[in-house]
Chain A
Amino acid sequence: MAAISLADEAGAGPSAAPTHSEYEIESAMLYNFTKFVVWPGSALGAAGATVVAGVWGDDRMIPVLQAALRNKTICGHPVVVRRIDSSADAISCAVLFVGGSDRKEIGRILQSLGRSPVLTVGHRVQFSRMGGVIAFIRDGNRIRFEINVDAADRAGLEVSSKLLRLGAVWREAPPQARN
């Protein structure tokens, strides 16, 4: 339901490889997501402690995200962007962007995170269906998103109703009334 147009990206069809502009939009959206999400208890550490925004599997995203998060905070915490290679590293992240399209890898990562309070963001509807919290979905020249509320619940994340109103909502367990 929510939509952000790929502004003036003429001829940007539904190609597999994300464009630079797409990265930028996704970085901005990622930052916005953090504002509508509340992490549980002391998940982000003491006040003033630095939190990590991790990037897995897509190095091109790193500089773009770094630019988007420069001088920004997540729930009052300063942010650093890091390349994440192992599952162990992934658990220390507050936000984890999962790039690439290797479903096995993605499944493994998500599996390893378990109930850790990590806001996972990835591509395509499969990501959220596989247990990711938010997935970017291309719709023509717009980018929408889908939220897996059950995954969010598992991670202990509280997603604002405002965000839920903007995005598509996916529930894993017996289908309930969508809001």
Chain B
Amino acid sequence: MRAFRDVSIKRKLVGINMLTSSVALMLACSTFLAYELVTYRKTATQQLTTLAQIVADSCTAALAFDDRRSAGEMLAALRAEPNLAAACIYTRDGRPFASFVRGESRRDLPRRPGKEGAEFKDRHLELFERVAFDGEWIGTVYLKRDLGDMYARLERYAGIVLGVLLFSSLTALLLSSMLQRVISVPTLRLAEMATRVSVERDYSLRAAKRGNDEIGALVDSFNEMMGQIQSRNMDLYEAQSALERHVAELCGEIARRRRAQEEALAAKQAAEESSRAKSAFLAKMSHELRTPLNAIIGYSEMLREDAEDKQDIRSISDLERITTAGKHLKTLIDEVLDLSKVEAGKAELVWEDVLATQILDDAAGVMETLAKKNGNKLTMRCAPNLPPMHVDIVKFRQSLYNLVRNACKFTRNGAIGVSVIPVTVDGVESIEWRVSDTGIGIAPDQMHKLFQPFSQIDGSTTRKYGGTGMGLAISRRFCELMGGSIAVASQPGKGSTFVIRLPLHRHPLPDVKVVLPARADGVTQTAANQLPTDTVRPDGALPQPGSLSGSGRL
């Protein structure tokens, strides 16, 4: 059946026609032959039965009077029946009485009568008929009919049937070969057209329609499909060229951006490199400078002590100036060193948990001293029940001192306030240290310069108020290292408030990375390594601050 699927339509059509007509003819002929056979058998049986009845009737007297000769003569008369092969009459007790055979031996006759009725055997029809006389059974007649004529006739019929079959098959072949074109030719043309389209990729081709039958409809559909493909092809082509143009543009854009990015990256690296080189240079220079400076300070103090001993007033004041200038220079250098360490990424943090009250207690003396210089009043406040802060105490204290020192420096006979309060900003719990003063304040246009190194508002301030101009910058760097920030609010002439905000470090320190993205080496690593041991500390286990909860003057 699979092979049949691959055969051409032409052959399929012819094949189907041939098969149908052959099968129909075969069926018709077989039925005819079968009917003929049945009819013939029936006729033969009827004829033989009639003959047997005649013989039976004729031989009654012969049987009754035991007259074999008469019976024999009567049977001999059956010779006129050409198909009768043998006949025999049996007496009532089953002995052969008279017989007739044609061309065969009498020994082939049945020795005893069989069951009444007709039976087909081999190529013969055999029949036993009772001989009844006056209601009495007096014998049996046996007849044997040769069916050769029937078979000969059947063979003739079979021959005729075969001939008819052959002839009609040939006719059918001829007819279907001619008529199959009606279907196969349009189909093949359509197939040819489809092949041409797929080979030449010419979607403008159209198939010719020949009629309005199913194939005609197929041709219409094909042509319509071709039309659609053609228009889609055009659309596709246009879309493709548009896309290509777009892609080309995008590629150019990408290249441009990549170049810009590379340039920016290079610039950034160069800037960082130069910044680091600068810091390294500064650190080295500061160190080189400090050694001789220490010698200068040390010797100038020694000389002053000597001068005091000698009551050399002139020398004392000169030597004091040298010492003060030396110390200032040393502070300057220290701060430059600190700053450059931070900038060079070499600042190391030592994390500790500490209570705000503790820091305030420790720093109170120093801050008090600083405040007194310019006649300022210092107030300290601390919110109760604050959790411990997780900080580098030294660096935090330095930042705090810087702010307090700044506040005292620019305020005369005013009030300096230090307060500690808890805040939550953007879901992060933090502690804010607010240092406020009633000093000269900062002009808005100066605010942005405030935390830059070496940026006191102007040269005059340095001369007037002293200081290195690096304190705020360093404080800011330290706070950022610890994950916090410094902000400022100010009104010129009324005062300023500086705020250090430090998160409570309940979780890792993502801020450090944000603050110093380019230096994710020493600093971040240190901070992260310290976390597990130091942060897990239940709040209640630490002593609650009580002494400094209120305000007080120290």
Contacts and interface: CB of A to CB of B under 8 A. Distances in A.
B509 to A, nearest CB: 145
B62 interface: yes
Interface in B132-148: 133-134
Contacts of A3: 66-67, 69
B4 interface: no
B544 interface: no
Contacts of B64: 32, 35
Contacts of B62: 162, 166
B61 A160 contact: yes
Contacts of A88: none
Nearest to A165: B70
A2 interface: yes
B65 A2 contact: yes
B357 interface: no
A125 interface: no
B58 A162 contact: yes
Contacts of A1: 67, 69-70
A160 B65 CA distance: 14
B141 to A, nearest CB: 15
Interface string B56-74: 0010111011110110000
A29 interface: yes
Interface string A1-14: 11111000000000
A67 B216 CA distance: 103
A80 interface: no
A36 B64 CA distance: 10
Q: Is the interface of B mostly helix, strand, loop or mixed?
A: helix
B67 A166 contact: yes
A166 B64 CA distance: 10
Nearest to B57: A162
A29 B65 CA distance: 7
A68 interface: no
A2 B133 contact: no
A137 interface: no
Nearest to A36: B61
Interface in B390-444: none
Contacts of A38: none
Interface in A142-179: 160, 162-163, 165-166
Contacts of B134: 35
Contacts of B60: 162
Nearest to B68: A3
B65 A4 contact: yes
Most A CB within 10 A of own CB, among B58, B61, B67: B61
Contacts of B69: 1, 3
A35 B133 contact: yes
Most B CB within 10 A of own CB, among A4, A35, A163, A166: A166
A163 B133 CA distance: 13
Contacts of A35: 64, 133-134
A163 B58 CA distance: 10
Given A32-B64, A36-B61, A166 B133 contact: no
A1 B65 CA distance: 11
A3 B134 CA distance: 21
A4 B70 contact: no
Nearest to B62: A166
A5 B60 CA distance: 18
Contacts of A160: 61
Contacts of B65: 2, 4, 29, 32, 166
Contacts of A5: 66
B120 to A, nearest CB: 32
Given A35-B133, A35-B134, A162 B66 contact: no
Contacts of A29: 65
A35 B70 CA distance: 18
A160 B60 CA distance: 11
Nearest to A3: B67
A139 to B, nearest CB: 12
Nearest to A34: B134
A6 B60 CA distance: 20
Interface in B39-82: 58, 60-62, 64-67, 69-70
Contacts of B66: 3-5
Contacts of A163: 61
Contacts of A36: 61
A32 B58 CA distance: 15
Contacts of A166: 61-62, 65, 67, 70
Contacts of B67: 1-4, 166
Most A CB within 10 A of own CB, among B60, B66, B67: B66
A133 to B, nearest CB: 16
A166 B134 CA distance: 18
Contacts of B133: 35
A39 to B, nearest CB: 15
Nearest to A31: B64
Contacts of A2: 65, 67, 70
A160 B58 CA distance: 11
Contacts of B58: 162
A142 to B, nearest CB: 10
15 contacts: A1-B67, A1-B69, A3-B67, A5-B66, A32-B64, A32-B65, A35-B133, A35-B134, A36-B61, A165-B61, A165-B70, A166-B61, A166-B62, A166-B65, A166-B70
Given A2-B67, A32-B64, A35-B64, 11 more contacts: A3-B67, A4-B67, A5-B66, A29-B65, A35-B133, A163-B61, A165-B70, A166-B61, A166-B62, A166-B67, A166-B70
The 3 closest A-B pairs by CB, nearest first: A162-B61, A32-B64, A2-B67
Interface of B: 58, 60-62, 64-67, 69-70, 133-134
